[in-house]
A and B are shown apart, each in its own frame.
Chain A
Amino acid sequence: MLKLVWLVPILPLAGVVINGIFGRWVRERAHLLAVGTTGLSFLIALGIFLQVLTGRTLNWDVYSWIPVGDFHATVGFQADPLSAVMMLVVTFVGFLIHVYSVGYMHGDPGYARFFTYMNLFMSSMLILVLANNYLFMFLGWEGVGLCSYLLIGFWYQKQSASDAGKKAFVVNRIGDAGFLLGLFLIWRTFGSLHYAEIFPQVAELHEILAQPSIFGLSLVTWMTLLLFTGAVGKSAQLPLYVWLPDAMEGPTPVSALIHAATMVTAGVYMVARSSALFDAAPVSMTVVATVGALTAVFAATIALVQNDIKRVVAYSTISQLGYMFLGAGVGAYASAIFHLATHAFFKALLFLGSGSVIHGLGGEQDIRRMGGLRKHMPITAWTFLIAALANAGIFPLAGFWSKDQILHAAIASGHVWLWALGAAGAFGTAFYMLRLYFVTFEGESRVDPHVAHHVHESPRVMAVPLIILAVFAFGAGLFGTSPEHSPYYTFVNPVFRAAGEGAAHAGGEGAGHQGPSEFTMALVSVAIAAAGIALAYQMYLRRRELADRMAERFRGAYTLLLNKYWVDEIYNAVFVDFGKWLCHRLWFVDAKGVDGAVNGTSWLTVFASHLSARFDFRGVDGLVNAIADVIQGGSQAFKRLQTGVIQNYLLAMAMGIFVIVSLYFFF
């Protein structure tokens, strides 16, 4: 059964090929194959998950991909608890979103193309989580990046959409460069890119790994930092997060699948998978946690004032990803993955719900033109509320458990300020999430009159996935209520413990149980969340004027947040414009140089040929003339023999006779 794992990524790939080639003929029925393959993958994934539950794992090299000298890369799959969980999340959420898309993308001219790309994405993501070596994982990594580009710019005729796709790809690339460098370092040090060959070696090579390298950082610190840069790009952390808000140009199912549930979490998965390496590099772990925490707060502040429904959710995603990295950075890898899973459910739900709203309002996305939609779209409203509460971390919804465990791990690690940032972010999260809900679904309707006529609940094919996701957003947390005993943790922890054991004596941050107890922290978290919700309730439901007055009072801060700290503008000026200026300068030099060189060469050639011609003329002429002159001179000289006087000839004869006779005599 386990060996069927290769089917999981291949089935969607088959969908890609068929839909891609026969898209024109399949058209409106493309979803059948796409959804079908995804569903089938989910079933197989489920089967594999059950197998892994019983304790069986698989590390299987299927095909020798690149055997070159010392370098040996394979196509191989790994089925262990971590990849099983990821695989399950990806296929399940992916399947639901595919179903949703059937309704959402109905009537779009690129219907078949959409499903082709979605299936390609599924295939790449599954390769990413199922690979048993870094290179194959990187293949999936790049694949999801490609699909992100294709799907963000799906409506490519729109300038902003194609720009957003490009932006995503370019920013991702920056991270990927770091990732590759990390891979190179790993290969150089360990001689292999297979997880099973690297992680056990971490303990043995401790001395080498701990050797100070550039800037005094140890080798393993560099490795992990470089890997982390890849994660920063892919998972939209500071400072490479700028692509994710723009990625909202893509269709909402895309945002749900790729930019909430799966692709952006690839970075977290990668860090978790490399836990053995990170455990051996405490500096990197601190960096990871800090970046995560800062991102969490930073994104949350921006989300407070945004007015586009999808933008709010996007910044929320960035913020929650920050939490996941915070968890990984303090050693709570299992918690980070747990938050990844719960987040997949409620964030996908939030996006799909937003899509439902947008769909119902005929394309409206500004929340200032929404309101009171609960009456018209009850299913959407209730599921959205559940998701918002889960995101805010309200007991006993899913988000509470995972986020709280992360915060507890943060404070237990001794870095109180990390906890403080996380707590502040949690307050903000609760606030903006409920703000979003209240403004969109409650209160009096500010919907545009023309649109108000069409407001309707989404069709069943879109509503059912919402409901299913809401169930999981509600109850998934129950699998992991306690970091020691709950089913989820007992299932997943061995992966990190096994890796962690190897690096234990390398000084990994022990997640000891110092500090306040879990229960206390749980109470604090709930209190913070409740406070946030209460504030949102006051400002946006009870007394609307409060929001506007606050905006007036803190005009400067408000503008700063509304404009996302002008990060995009800064990046544009520093990197893009500078880059363009540099290119222009270089082009200028190049043109002049090249022109000059070409002209110079041609002039030189002409000149040389002139010289050569002249020399040739002189030479050839001279030679010929010289020969003629010699002959002429010779004849001028010799003609004097012809004196015409016979006696001269006689003399010559006499002399000749004399010579011959004397020769005859004396020799």
Chain B
Amino acid sequence: MIPLSHYLILGGIIFSLGVFGALTRRNAIAILMSIELMLNAVNLNFIAFARYLPQTMLQGQVFAIFVIAVAAAEAAVGLAIVLGLYRNFKTVNVDEINLMKW
């Protein structure tokens, strides 16, 4: 039997990688990709708990479905915004877009 902690650790690693990417990647789309990674890691956690914890209604998996739905919506909107950014600034490198700089 695979211990629960393995899944959790795996999820944690993927989540941390996603965090690192969100914080360091310059390309806006890459940031969105990192965010998708994070969401995926979270999903993994949910489903792992749904499998290993006594649940009556598989709440974990239900939640995971919702997460997926929301992730999709968010990806769509986010990419639309990125397109708008690109149109205005001719670049998708977020560290070059600092209109809100003091």
In the assembled complex, A64 has its CB within 8 A of some CB on chain B: no
Contact B19 A640 (CB under 8 A): no
Contact A644 B100 (CB under 8 A): yes
Contact A645 B23 (CB under 8 A): no
Give the docked Cα–Cα distance between A645 and B100 (Å): 8
In the assembled complex, B62 has its CB within 8 A of some CB on chain A: no
B-contact bits for A611-648, CB 8 A (1 contact / 0 none): 00000000000000000000000000001101111110
Contact A645 B94 (CB under 8 A): yes
Give the docked Cα–Cα distance between A551 and B40 (Å): 156
In the assembled complex, A651 has its CB within 8 A of some CB on chain B: yes
Interface of A is mostly: helix
In the complex, what residue of chain A is closest to B19 when comparing beta carbons? A654
A-contact bits for B32-63, CB 8 A (1 contact / 0 none): 00000000000000000000000000000000
Point out the residue from B19, B94, B102 that lies within 8 Å of A646, measured CB to CB. B94
Contact B94 A639 (CB under 8 A): no
In the assembled complex, A650 has its CB within 8 A of some CB on chain B: yes
**Residues on the A chain within 8 Å of B5, using CB:** none
Contact A644 B101 (CB under 8 A): yes
Contact B99 A644 (CB under 8 A): yes
Give the docked Cα–Cα distance between A645 and B19 (Å): 16
**Residues on the B chain within 8 Å of A650, using CB:** 22-23
Q: In the complex, how many angstroms separate the beta carbon of B19 from the nearest chain A beta carbon?
A: 6
Point out the residue from B23, B94, B98, B100 that lies within 8 Å of A651, measured CB to CB. B23
Q: In the complex, how many angstroms separate the beta carbon of B52 from the nearest chain A beta carbon?
A: 22
**Residues on the A chain within 8 Å of B98, using CB:** 643-645
**Residues on the B chain within 8 Å of A644, using CB:** 97-102
A642, A643, A646, A651: residue with the most chain B Cβ atoms closer than 10 Å:
A646
Point out the residue from A639, A640, A645, A654 that lies within 8 Å of B95, measured CB to CB. A645
Q: In the complex, how many angstroms separate the beta carbon of A477 from the nearest chain B beta carbon?
A: 130
**Residues on the B chain within 8 Å of A642, using CB:** 100-102
In the complex, what residue of chain A is closest to B26 when comparing beta carbons? A647
**Residues on the A chain within 8 Å of B24, using CB:** 647
In the complex, what residue of chain B is closest to A642 when comparing beta carbons? B102
Give the docked Cα–Cα distance between A643 and B98 (Å): 7
Contact B102 A639 (CB under 8 A): yes
In the complex, what residue of chain B is closest to A653 when comparing beta carbons? B23
In the complex, what residue of chain A is closest to B98 when comparing beta carbons? A644
**Residues on the B chain within 8 Å of A651, using CB:** 23
Point out the residue from A643, A647, A654 that lies within 8 Å of B101, measured CB to CB. A643
Point out the residue from B94, B99, B100 that lies within 8 Å of A647, measured CB to CB. B94
A-B residue pair count with CB separations less than 8 angstroms? 30
In the complex, what residue of chain A is closest to B99 when comparing beta carbons? A644
Number of A residues whose C-beta is below 8 Å from B? 11
Range, interface on chain B: 10 to 19
Give the docked Cα–Cα distance between A639 and B101 (Å): 9
**Residues on the B chain within 8 Å of A639, using CB:** 102
Q: In the complex, how many angstroms separate the beta carbon of A438 from the nearest chain B beta carbon?
A: 130
**Residues on the A chain within 8 Å of B23, using CB:** 647, 650-651, 654
B-contact bits for A304-319, CB 8 A (1 contact / 0 none): 0000000000000000
**Residues on the A chain within 8 Å of B22, using CB:** 647, 650
In the complex, what residue of chain A is closest to B101 when comparing beta carbons? A644
Point out the residue from B94, B97, B99, B102 that lies within 8 Å of A640, measured CB to CB. B102
A-contact bits for B48-84, CB 8 A (1 contact / 0 none): 0000000000000000000000000000000000000
In the complex, what residue of chain A is closest to B25 when comparing beta carbons? A647
Give the docked Cα–Cα distance between A639 and B102 (Å): 6
Give the docked Cα–Cα distance between A645 and B23 (Å): 11
**Residues on the A chain within 8 Å of B102, using CB:** 639-640, 642, 644
Q: In the complex, how many angstroms separate the beta carbon of B94 from the nearest chain A beta carbon?
A: 6
Contact B19 A647 (CB under 8 A): no
Give the docked Cα–Cα distance between A640 and B98 (Å): 12
Give the docked Cα–Cα distance between A115 and B23 (Å): 125
Give the docked Cα–Cα distance between A651 and B98 (Å): 16
Q: In the complex, how many angstroms separate the beta carbon of B37 from the nearest chain A beta carbon?
A: 14
Q: In the complex, how many angstroms separate the beta carbon of A640 from the nearest chain B beta carbon?
A: 7
In the complex, what residue of chain B is closest to A640 when comparing beta carbons? B102
Give the docked Cα–Cα distance between A644 and B31 (Å): 16
In the complex, what residue of chain B is closest to A655 when comparing beta carbons? B23
Q: In the complex, how many angstroms separate the beta carbon of A295 from the nearest chain B beta carbon?
A: 112
Give the docked Cα–Cα distance between A651 and B22 (Å): 9
**Residues on the A chain within 8 Å of B95, using CB:** 645, 647
Give the docked Cα–Cα distance between A366 and B68 (Å): 151
Give the docked Cα–Cα distance between A651 and B25 (Å): 12
In the complex, what residue of chain B is closest to A639 when comparing beta carbons? B102
**Residues on the B chain within 8 Å of A640, using CB:** 102
In the complex, what residue of chain A is closest to B28 when comparing beta carbons? A646
Q: In the complex, how many angstroms separate the beta carbon of B95 from the nearest chain A beta carbon?
A: 5
Give the docked Cα–Cα distance between A651 and B95 (Å): 13
In the complex, what residue of chain B is closest to A636 when comparing beta carbons? B102
Give the docked Cα–Cα distance between A642 and B19 (Å): 21
Give the docked Cα–Cα distance between A642 and B31 (Å): 20
A644, A650, A651, A654: residue with the most chain B Cβ atoms closer than 10 Å:
A644
In the complex, what residue of chain B is closest to A652 when comparing beta carbons? B23
**Residues on the A chain within 8 Å of B94, using CB:** 645-647
A639, A640, A643: residue with the most chain B Cβ atoms closer than 10 Å:
A643
Give the docked Cα–Cα distance between A642 and B94 (Å): 14
Q: In the complex, how many angstroms separate the beta carbon of A632 from the nearest chain B beta carbon?
A: 13
Give the docked Cα–Cα distance between A337 and B24 (Å): 135
In the complex, what residue of chain B is closest to A650 when comparing beta carbons? B23
In the complex, what residue of chain A is closest to B102 when comparing beta carbons? A639
Give the docked Cα–Cα distance between A647 and B27 (Å): 11
Give the docked Cα–Cα distance between A354 and B95 (Å): 134
B-contact bits for A338-360, CB 8 A (1 contact / 0 none): 00000000000000000000000
Give the docked Cα–Cα distance between A380 and B100 (Å): 133
Q: In the complex, how many angstroms separate the beta carbon of B27 from the nearest chain A beta carbon?
A: 11
Give the docked Cα–Cα distance between A651 and B87 (Å): 26
**Residues on the B chain within 8 Å of A647, using CB:** 22-24, 31, 94-95
Give the docked Cα–Cα distance between A646 and B97 (Å): 9
Give the docked Cα–Cα distance between A646 and B101 (Å): 10
**Residues on the B chain within 8 Å of A654, using CB:** 19, 23
Give the docked Cα–Cα distance between A650 and B28 (Å): 13
Within 8 A of B (CB), among A71-91: none
Give the docked Cα–Cα distance between A644 and B98 (Å): 4
In the complex, what residue of chain B is closest to A635 when comparing beta carbons? B102
**Residues on the A chain within 8 Å of B97, using CB:** 644-645
Give the docked Cα–Cα distance between A667 and B49 (Å): 26
In the complex, what residue of chain A is closest to B96 when comparing beta carbons? A645
Q: In the complex, how many angstroms separate the beta carbon of B29 from the nearest chain A beta carbon?
A: 14
Q: 8 closest Cβ contacts across the A-B interface? A: A644-B98, A644-B101, A639-B102, A644-B100, A642-B102, A645-B95, A651-B23, A645-B98
A-B contacts, 18 of them at CB < 8 A, read A639-B102, A640-B102, A642-B100, A642-B101, A642-B102, A643-B98, A644-B100, A644-B102, A645-B95, A645-B97, A645-B98, A645-B101, A647-B24, A647-B31, A647-B95, A650-B22, A651-B23, A654-B23
List 8 extra interface pairs beyond A645-B97, A650-B22, CB under 8 A.
A643-B98, A644-B101, A645-B101, A646-B94, A647-B24, A647-B31, A650-B23, A651-B23
